[in-house]
Amino acid sequence: MISPNKPVVVYGASGYTGMLIIEQLIELSIPFIAAGRNAEKIKANMAERVAGLENGDYEIVQVEHTVEALTDLFTGARVVCNTVGPFLKYYREVVQACLNAGCHYQDTTGEQAYSLQVEQEFGEAFASKELVLAPATSYMYVPLHIAAELCLEQGDIDTLECASVPTVIPTVGSANTIMMVLLEKALYLEDNQFVEWNLGDSREVVTPGFATTNLGLPWGGTQIPQYYKNDHRVRNCSALVGFPDRELMSGLVQQAILMKEKVEGKSPEDRAAILDEFARGLTPTMPPREKSTVNRNIDHVVGRGNLKEVSATLIGIYPYITTGAIQAYCARRLIANSHNRVGFTSACEAYGHREILNFLEDRGLVSHRINA
């Protein structure tokens, strides 16, 4: 059972994103448990990579990835920040343990296939216990959702075209997830119905901040169309992700097609091993800390109606640090019982898109503009 004065558990604390969440929790003076399968690795990585660690109020806990062990660890916590992916592979034990322990759940995923599955499996159960179940509480999905909501604020908009263009080096975990989401069914919303992207689909993405276009991929569909599936305001919604590194993006398209053939008919274990090998080839080591002169983001949404067009743009820096900040902010809101929704939800629905935007702007992580 968790210490009563440690309301947050960061699960997957030895990873790149886990440590940035920890850093932001320390900034907000929130006590936490840093948990994972290897306590020594967590301790060593935190000592090397977490700024301001001496100011933190924390414990380090080693735990097995089982429902029983995680339930015991989470009991007494208010919220679990889960970074252990690919989520489609590892989510069930963590989400079930949160439900058992009666604590809120948020994660950093970008896997639409997982998010649709977890909503179906656990959404009603979390709502019945007045608990928040919020996948994709992270960069790419929260800023893009904020931009979409800023468009919808203008009224008479029913179509959203969303594009996220980050300059970022994927972590090992992200690289593994990237290939997994490219292989899974990816959906967009057309006339209130889900439609499947074809494997290998790509589009030229036009965004402010670039004189040329970037190559955008469906990226597993993202959570944005899922959020608007039953929203009376929106009929059509698609989302694309386009790193400015065109060679990388075009290579991922070809790699996904080849990988699908390679894993066809393989057991889940063999499939996972093949994906892991690819991920370590793409990002063999933990990336360096982000730099504002390099790691810049554009999240852009164009909204259209019958006779109207608007757009909203979030200009940002530090995608992974932004994820840490979003996770810490949402954890603080949950600790304070100041959330607006329970059950399966987005961060914007649970805490308010304007409130999250204000927080990120106050932290110097984003600015925004609306063209109406």
CATH numbers and ranges of domains, the chain: 8-138+321-363 (3.40.50.720), 141-319 (3.30.360.10)
Q: Which residue has the higher pLDDT, 251 or 84?
A: 84
pLDDT, residue 353, reads 98
- pLDDT higher than threshold 70 for residue 170: yes
Ramachandran category for residue 318: left, alpha or beta (phi over 0 → left; psi -120 to 50 → alpha): left
Q: Which residue has the higher pLDDT, 153 or 174?
A: 153
Per cent of the chain over pLDDT 90 is: 80
Return d(Cα 93, Cα 114) in angstroms, integer: 13
**pLDDT, tens digit, for every residue of 184-224?**
889 999 999 999 999 889 999 999 999 999 999 999 899 99
Burial class (CB in 10 A: 0-12, 13-18, 19+), 346: buried
pLDDT, residue 255, reads 80
Confidence grade of residue 305 (pLDDT, cut at 50, 70, 90): very high
For residue 253, give both structure tokens. Answer: 């398209």
- pLDDT higher than threshold 90 for residue 110: no
Half-sphere exposure of 9 (CA within 13 A, CB side): 32
pLDDT, residue 263, reads 81
Nearest to 77 by CA among 363, 361, 334, 272: 334
* Overall average pLDDT of the 319-344 stretch: 98
Amino acid at 234: V
pLDDT, residue 3, reads 59
- pLDDT higher than threshold 60 for residue 2: no
pLDDT, residue 258, reads 82
Contacts 24+ apart (CB under 8 A), 125-131: 125/99, 126/99, 126/342, 126/343, 126/344, 127/342, 127/343, 127/344, 129/99, 129/102, 130/342, 131/98, 131/99, 131/102, 131/103, 131/104, 131/105, 131/342, 131/343
Cα of first residue to Cα of last residue in the chain, in angstroms, is 52
**pLDDT, tens digit, for every residue of 222-270?**
999 999 999 999 999 999 999 999 998 888 888 878 887 888 888 877 8
For residue 99, give both structure tokens. Answer: 């439900």
In the chain, what are the helix, strand and coil shares in percent, each to the nearest 5?
45, 20, 35
* Overall average pLDDT of the 47-68 stretch: 97
Per cent of the chain over pLDDT 70 is: 95
pLDDT, residue 306, reads 97
pLDDT, residue 259, reads 80
Average pLDDT along the chain = 93
Q: Count CB-CB contacts under 10 A for residue 238.
A: 22
Least confident of 250-254, 306-310, 324-328: 250-254
38, 14 contact by CB (below 8 A) = yes
pLDDT, residue 290, reads 95
pLDDT, residue 307, reads 96
pLDDT, residue 279, reads 67
For residue 136, give both structure tokens. Answer: 């994709």
pLDDT, residue 153, reads 98
* Overall average pLDDT of the 121-135 stretch: 98
In our burial notation (b when 16+ CB lie closer than 10 A, e otherwise), range 154-174 reads beebbbbbbbbbbebbbbbbb
Contacts of 331 by beta carbon, 8 Å cutoff, 6+ apart: 7, 8, 25, 30, 78, 79, 81, 106
For residue 256, give both structure tokens. Answer: 């996904």
pLDDT, residue 173, reads 67
For residue 224, give both structure tokens. Answer: 């944005």
Confidence grade of residue 68 (pLDDT, cut at 50, 70, 90): very high
- pLDDT higher than threshold 80 for residue 169: no
- pLDDT higher than threshold 70 for residue 144: yes
- pLDDT higher than threshold 70 for residue 172: no
- pLDDT higher than threshold 70 for residue 176: no
Q: How far is CA 145 from the centre of its chain?
A: 11
Give strand pairing partners of 33: 9, 59
**pLDDT, tens digit, for every residue of 31-52?**
999 999 999 999 999 999 999 9
- pLDDT higher than threshold 90 for residue 156: yes
